[in-house]
Structure 1
């Protein structure tokens, strides 16, 4: 992935955005990464999107990657959605007339659904990968004053051990324990998603690994089917873990996204 970086002033300071431009763009994609990581982990996805004609804007959310803010504190998802809108508006200003698709993974999927609920008229389509829409294994942690010191297990990301090894060695990844404010913030955003509105006629693609231990597949299925609107396409992958874009069958998943984009944008 090659491109240029630019900065926006977000809710907690500087937001760093990577922009990659093809020859002869036919669409715009804004890519929202997940909790504790950064946009650089999706270089292979961006390369495919660009090869298919998309101008890609990939921000590091506040408190993540190269952007400013307390590390991995996700206490106000709607404020992060407002930051994401800054990226969308910048992309639209620079690419007037092109369709714009938002792609979000995990926490970024949660953010992207909230974005579509609040700013849906800005989008041509939405893709969510393993969106965090609840997890019954994590819910009991909400009642604890102090959370156990348990960071994300790299082995839970993918069946490919190289993915976990690269994640563990990545200095831009947050390797600390889950933060109580972040847990409360994300579950609070899930409640807002559940309250609606649904996404109406917006074309939506939902992809999810059925063996996802971090963003429950079953929880996501219930909520996506409730609020996904009347233009929802679903793809699930037996045995796949949380990061389907980094899974052993990632080519299949990325092909599904590319096919969806060619149909809707």
Structure 2
């Protein structure tokens, strides 16, 4: 089911995967240029492990309003996500909340945890854009941002994943918008300066062969925000979308195992 609300700047469409007797709430934050519909199998796994799942299409993405992939300020995206959490808590009072973010969604989730982490039971960051992401610095230096299509082979070793991505009409296949690039840069700097995550249990998963968001660059960003309870899992040979990798069952088992230890303790 879907519901729509007036976000900070645009109408936001949120998908809800309902559960009859959920034990916890999962919030999903998707990555740049994609949409929450690509996380159907992730949501199904979370449902089987006791969650009710809420995931918005961020502004300018998927079925939400706004010019495609245009984000002026990621603080607004974080606030929109908090509106989703508020709705989830109204629908399911008293349940613990876990936030799961991938790539750009990992950046959004990290900033969310800095702003609203006291309300979270756990945080999962998948291939998060943190620290110093090379493409952003490179694009900021260009007078005109080129239209360079993503190499779909960098998404996953499971090649049909990239083929489906390329054929998906809800995925953005054009160039970055300059305002969005500038917003990325400001958000990463804000996260780096805003401090650590304290006692919030955090799981960081990343593909060792991730070329889109390289492991070493993210490691520096994780070091800047890591709190007292960080679990790190790096998957040898895996590329950017670990939830869509050839070992996705292993990844999702690691994620649900981590969550279970905290929502059921």
State the partner residue of 2:228: 230
State the partner residue of 1:99: 96
Q: How many angstroms does 1:120 deviate by?
A: 1.0
CA distance in 2, matches of 1:183, 1:255: 34
The yes-or-no answer on 1:65 pairing with 2:62 is yes
Q: How many angstroms does 1:94 deviate by?
A: 1.1
Q: Are the equivalent residues in 1 in contact too, given 2:25–2:52 (CA < 8 A)?
A: yes
Q: What value does the CA root-mean-square deviation take over the aligned residues?
A: 1.1
CA distance in 2, matches of 1:263, 1:53: 13
CA distance in 1, matches of 2:61, 2:154: 20
Task: Give ranges in structure 1 of 5+ residues lacking alignment.
Answer: none
CA distance in 1, matches of 2:147, 2:25: 40
CA distance in 2, matches of 1:178, 1:115: 23
Structure 2 residue corresponding to 1:56, chosen from 37, 44, 53: 53
Following TM superposition, the consecutive aligned residue runs of length 4 or more in structure 1 with deviations greater than 4 angstroms are: none
State the partner residue of 1:117: 114
**Normalising by the residue count of structure 2, what TM-score does the alignment of the two structures yield?**
0.96
Task: Give ranges in structure 2 of 5+ residues lacking alignment.
Answer: none
Q: Are the equivalent residues in 2 in contact too, given 1:33–1:107 (CA < 8 A)?
A: yes
Deviations 1:192-233 (A, max 9, x none): 111022000000001011111111211111111221201111
CA distance in 2, matches of 1:27, 1:257: 14
The yes-or-no answer on 1:177 pairing with 2:143 is no
What pairs with 1:177-256 in structure 2 (closer than 5 Å)?
A: 177-256=175-254
Q: Are the equivalent residues in 1 in contact too, given 2:243–2:251 (CA < 8 A)?
A: yes
**Normalising by the residue count of structure 1, what TM-score does the alignment of the two structures yield?**
0.96
Q: Are the equivalent residues in 1 in contact too, given 2:136–2:184 (CA < 8 A)?
A: no
The yes-or-no answer on 1:26 pairing with 2:8 is no
State the partner residue of 1:9: 6
The yes-or-no answer on 1:81 pairing with 2:88 is no
State the partner residue of 1:168: 166
Equivalent residues, number: 262
Q: Are the equivalent residues in 2 in contact too, given 1:29–1:56 (CA < 8 A)?
A: yes
SS of the aligned residue for 1:195 comes to: helix
